[in-house]
Amino acid sequence: MGYPIVGCVPQTMKNKPALRWIDKLMQEINTEIACIRLGNTHIIVVTSPELAQEFLKKQDVIFASRPNCMSANLTSNGFLTTAMSPMGRQWKKMRRIIVSEVLANKKHILL
């Protein structure tokens, strides 16, 4: 489906919304799961609710992280923020701090 260097980027440039393009591709291939390459990023597309549940609930630790990229590293000052960090020790630490300090109900009572 994709080209050696640019992947599936040329097919996405036809002014179609990404969801419709991916849905049409999945219907043409007649499959419930596919791996689409957009540039250097591989995207796994799932159309079956059972497979989606497998990804999102049972195998979430494997598939939850986002790919590392240079722009995210630079904007987050070396992945020191929660928003751009890949899932791991730093992300869990920052999430714990945000939940306990920023989003805690006790902190907002005085406001």
Output the 3-class SS for the chain: CCECCCECHHHHCCCCCHHHHHHHHHHHHCCCEEEEEECCEEEEEECCHHHHHHHHHHCHHHHCCCCCCHHHHHHCCCCCCCCCCCCCHHHHHHHHHHHHHHCCHHHHCCC
User: What is the pLDDT of the chain when averaged over all its residues?
Assistant: 75
pLDDT in tens, 27-59: 898 999 988 887 777 888 888 889 888 878 877
| Predicted local confidence at residue 6, as pLDDT | 63
The torsion angles phi and psi of 33, rounded to 5 degrees, stand at -145, 140
Output 73 or 12, whichever has higher pLDDT. Answer: 73
Q: Is pLDDT at 15 greater than 60 in this prediction?
A: no
How far apart (Å, rounded) are the C-alpha atoms in residues 22 and 30? 12
pLDDT in tens, 57-94: 877 777 766 667 777 777 777 766 666 677 778 778 88
| Predicted local confidence at residue 23, as pLDDT | 84
| Predicted local confidence at residue 91, as pLDDT | 76
